[in-house]
Structure 1
Amino acid sequence: MEYMELLVLIITALTGTWITYYSCTRWSWSAVRSSATWSMIVALFFRFFPDLFPAELTRLIPVAFIGATFVGMVSARQTTSYLGIGLAALIYSVILLHTSAYFQGYGGALGTTACVALLVVLSSRYLRSDKKAYVGTRKIWKHLKKPVRRS
Structure 2
Amino acid sequence: MEIVVLIVTALAGALSTFYCCRRFMWSPVRASALLSMVVALIFKVFPDVVSPYLNQTIPVVFIGATFIGMVSSRQTTSYLGIGLAAVVYSVILFHTSEYFEGYGGALGTTACVALLVILSSRYMRSDKKAFAGSRKVVRKLQKPLRKP
1:14 aligns with 2:11: yes
Name the count of aligned residue pairs.
Answer: 144
Q: Which amino acid in 2 is paired with 1:8?
A: V
**Identity across the alignment (%):** 68
Question: Alpha-carbon deviation of 1:130?
Answer: 2.2
Aligned letter for 1:89? A
Where 1:133 maps in the other structure, the secondary structure is helix
* Match of residue 146 from structure 2: none
Match of 1:137 among 119, 128, 134: 134
- Report what 2:44 is aligned to: 47
Q: CA deviation at 1:138?
A: 3.9
Where do residues 1-151 of structure 1 align in structure 2 (5 Å cutoff)? Answer: 4-138=1-135
Question: Gapped runs of 5+ residues in structure 1?
Answer: 147-151
Matching residue's letter, 1:6: I
1-structure distance, mates of 2:142, 2:100:
41
TM-score normalised to structure 2 length: 0.90
- RMSD between aligned alpha carbons? 1.8
Q: What is the distance in 2 between the residues matched to 1:144 and 1:31?
A: 40
Flag structure 2 segments of 5+ consecutive residues without an equivalent: 144-148
Deviations 1:29-66 (A, max 9, x none): 00000000000000111111111110000010000000
Cα shift readout 1:96-142 (whole Å, capped 9, x = no counterpart): 11110110000100000000000000001111222211123345667
